[in-house]
Structure 1
């Protein structure tokens, strides 16, 4: 029987090398993603109903809010570190 080769998950290999792999599992990522999801939902409803440009505008404003909230949470330490390993 021949020896089978095992594939190593890149994220596990990165952990072995001392790199931190987070895959976006941070409060900043979750908050931004959920607000953006709601924004696209509201904007889609605004386009389907008419189109109702006020509701669509609320969706666009929510999308901008998602970006701001994500960035503020990153700066306050609730996001992934932006430092790169050399």
Structure 2
């Protein structure tokens, strides 16, 4: 997966961070025996998924463009300039 940049995007990081916060909220309220807080935490988890998908749709979740070798870029610019 490391070769495909899976999850290495701002959309993925933001969505997972929000979902993690929601899981922490739900876990805390589960221990405190507060059902309303537990369900509100799960709503935050769902919001994390929606935010991640919205950011992906906005173009923040795509693959990074491949860059050429720096030596090739310099050689091409030098050849075009001459």
TM-score (norm 2): 0.70
Partner of 2:62: 80
- Displacement of 1:54 in angstroms is 1.3
Per the alignment, residue 34 of structure 1 pairs with 17
For residues 6 and 58 of structure 2, the distance between their equivalents in structure 1, rounded to whole angstroms, comes to 19
**SS, match of residue 47 in structure 1:** helix
Which structure features the higher share of helix residues?
A: 2
Return the TM-score normalized by structure 1: 0.67
1:58-73 correspondence runs (5 A): 58-73=40-55
> Relative contact order: is structure 1 or structure 2 higher (C-alpha 8 Å, sep ≥ 6)?
2
Quote the RMSD (CA, aligned, Å): 1.4
The separation in 2 between residues aligned to 1:61 and 1:40, in whole angstroms, is 10
- Any runs of at least 4 consecutive aligned residues in structure 1 with deviations exceeding 2 A, and if so which? none
Preserved contact between residue 27 and residue 79 of structure 1 (Cα < 8 Å): yes
Larger Rg: 2
Unaligned 5+ runs, structure 1: 1-9, 12-20, 82-86
Runs of at least 5 residues in structure 2 that lack an aligned partner in the other structure: 64-82
Q: Post-superposition shift, 1:80?
A: 2.5
